[in-house]
Amino acid sequence: MRALLVTSVGVTCAAALTLPLATPAASAPAPHSASALPPSTSPASPGAGPPSVQAEATTREALAPSDVRSAAEPSGSTQSLPLAPLDAPSDRVAGAPAAQGLPQRDARPFSLVGVVWDDAEAELHGTVQVRTRATGTTRWSDWQDVETHNAEHAADLGSAEREGRTVRGATAPLWVGDSDGVEVRVRPETRSSQDRAATPVPLPEGMRLELVDPGEGPGEASGENPGEDSAPEPARGAPAGRAAAVPARFADTPATAAALPEVLTAEVAAASAVNAELAEIGATVIPALSRAETLESMELAPGAKPYIGPRPGIVTRKGWGADEKLREKNFGYTKTVKAAFVHHSATGNNYTCKQAPSVLRSIYRYHVKSSGWRDFGYNFAVDKCGNIYEGRAGGVTKAVLGAHTLGFNTNTMGIAVLGSYGSTNPPAAAVTAVSKLTAWKLGLFGRNPKGKITLVSGGSNKYKAGVKVKMNVISGHRDGFATECPGARLYKKLGKARTSSAKLQGR
């Protein structure tokens, strides 16, 4: 797919390009993206239609600017629908919180769902289930569970990302595939004690159902996609695909739109420029290197024997179609990378590897537009076929501050394996990809994948702020937070990942 043109023929984009490399300051809250109802149910004005439609019409927000774009720009949108009580008042115990949800209804096409609420500190104690209808059919899925405990995937308490934005509580997102109908129910947990009858726990206030459409990514309109189910290793050498035009400020000689095939937007060029030492600006893939080539590319002291694995092929943000206008402009960094936390995305396993870029675009939009984060939360992602993807913007070789492990985002990186691995074994290709990625990235910072490291907690439900914790250099999310993530089956594979990673480093 051609990148967006930001200049007319014969004019360079240097004037439009900026490179925000500084650590971010607190930013203005990101608008909560919401969309109009389907034409069949959208009232002409607030107050028209039945009560349920009236409530939806009066609380619905207008489309955010990033949701209204021309066909040539990155697509995607979010429908944000307020939940309502499912039970009639006469059916409820006096004072007890009601189940909330939405009855079966039509929607504009979407592929990922989640529920958000106003207070990021509030927990949803209960169950969330959804049913969806495949686009253009009458087929409804079975009820699917949505992982409710997601607060541990977030920016650290007190950080600029946490305090400087309107952050919301959120469930994990669930990938449901191309759908145009939805039904959701949220039921509160019931608790009892010796001296009190069972009572439901109040649900968080301001719950909304988020329906995310990832839009089309690079090559998808023509049937091409960087993530193939066979998961071939990206070719070594030049980046895959036609290289984008290099803006004048990055080239030795002036470049013009007339002389080059395409010109990148400022946001895309900035996100790509931080990887310029690895691939041409605008590349869709950072090519794999052998270990010898990797060592040759590094500046080493005479006689030094670094322990570092071969650089794996990595699909860039441009390669999976990240809309760079969604994220906060600046990049955030920490001092170093001491450890890697492995996660599962909890989005379910009903995706093909060709769909992985769409899954990533959906999670990205859910993190930023629905949850209020500054960018995609994880530093890297891995799909079931072993393809590796660049996550949060800032440069794959750099110590980019993520929002993946509450309390331990500083000086660490987060790797999300796409899928849910509580009762399903992770594919061997995915575990191998984790080993390759950690052998290379941790090696850049002199870390032993089989070693231990001491981290200082920023505050979690497992370790209070300021507590020093000794952890594995390759840890699971549950090592820093009381959570099921990365799923019991994936967690059991981390020992193998550590051994393989260290071997790739030459240890």
Per-residue pLDDT at 192: 65
State the Rg of the chain over Cα: 23
- Cα→Cα distances 443→303, 416, 473, Å: 17, 19, 11
Residue with tokens 């289930």: 129
Q: Supply the pTM of this predicted model.
A: 0.79
Please check the confidence at residue 84 and state whether its pLDDT lies above 80: yes
Per-residue pLDDT at 184: 98
Please check the confidence at residue 254 and state whether its pLDDT lies above 80: no
Q: What is the mean pLDDT of the chain?
A: 79
Stronger pLDDT, 156 or 294, i.e. the higher one: 294
> Could you give the CA distance from residue 148 to residue 485 in angstroms, rounded to a whole number?
12
Count the neighbouring beta carbons within 10 Å of the beta carbon of residue 119.
12
> Could you give the CA distance from residue 110 to residue 175 in angstroms, rounded to a whole number?
10
Per-residue pLDDT at 484: 85
> Could you give the CA distance from residue 218 to residue 239 in angstroms, rounded to a whole number?
15
Q: What's CA 218's distance to the chain center, in Å? A: 18
Residue 31 is encoded by which pair of tokens? Answer: 């608008």
> Could you give the CA distance from residue 477 to residue 149 in angstroms, rounded to a whole number?
13
> Could you give the CA distance from residue 34 to residue 173 in angstroms, rounded to a whole number?
16
Stronger pLDDT, 408 or 16, i.e. the higher one: 408
Length of the chain: 507
Nearest to 286 by CA among 413, 441, 443, 501: 441
Alpha helices (runs of H) in 129-227, residue ranges in sequence order: 160-163
Per-residue pLDDT at 460: 76
Are 125 and 199 contacting, i.e. CB atoms less than 8 angstroms apart? no
Per-residue pLDDT at 406: 81
Are 472 and 498 contacting, i.e. CB atoms less than 8 angstroms apart? yes
> Could you give the CA distance from residue 374 to residue 353 in angstroms, rounded to a whole number?
26
Phi and psi at 102, nearest 5°, equal -140, 135
Please check the confidence at residue 385 and state whether its pLDDT lies above 50: yes
Q: What does the pLDDT look like over 207-242, one tens digit per residue?
A: 999 999 999 887 775 444 444 454 444 434 433 333
Please check the confidence at residue 130 and state whether its pLDDT lies above 80: yes
Residue with tokens 């949060």: 392
Per-residue pLDDT at 369: 96
> Could you give the CA distance from residue 356 to residue 386 in angstroms, rounded to a whole number?
11
DSSP characters over 84-124? EE-S-GGGS-TTPPPPEEEEEEEEEEEEEEEEEES-TT---
When pLDDT is averaged across residues 296-324 and rounded to a whole number, the result is 89
Identify the DSSP state of 358.
H
Residue 178 is encoded by which pair of tokens? Answer: 């191309």
Count the neighbouring beta carbons within 10 Å of the beta carbon of residue 19.
14
Nearest to 327 by CA among 268, 264, 360, 376: 376
> Could you give the CA distance from residue 422 to residue 184 in angstroms, rounded to a whole number?
23
Stronger pLDDT, 389 or 15, i.e. the higher one: 389
Q: Compute the Cα dihedral for 125, 127, 60, 50 and give only its sign.
A: negative
Are 274 and 393 contacting, i.e. CB atoms less than 8 angstroms apart? yes
Please check the confidence at residue 455 and state whether its pLDDT lies above 60: yes
When pLDDT is averaged across residues 93-115 and rounded to a whole number, the result is 88
Phi and psi at 320, nearest 5°, equal -95, 5
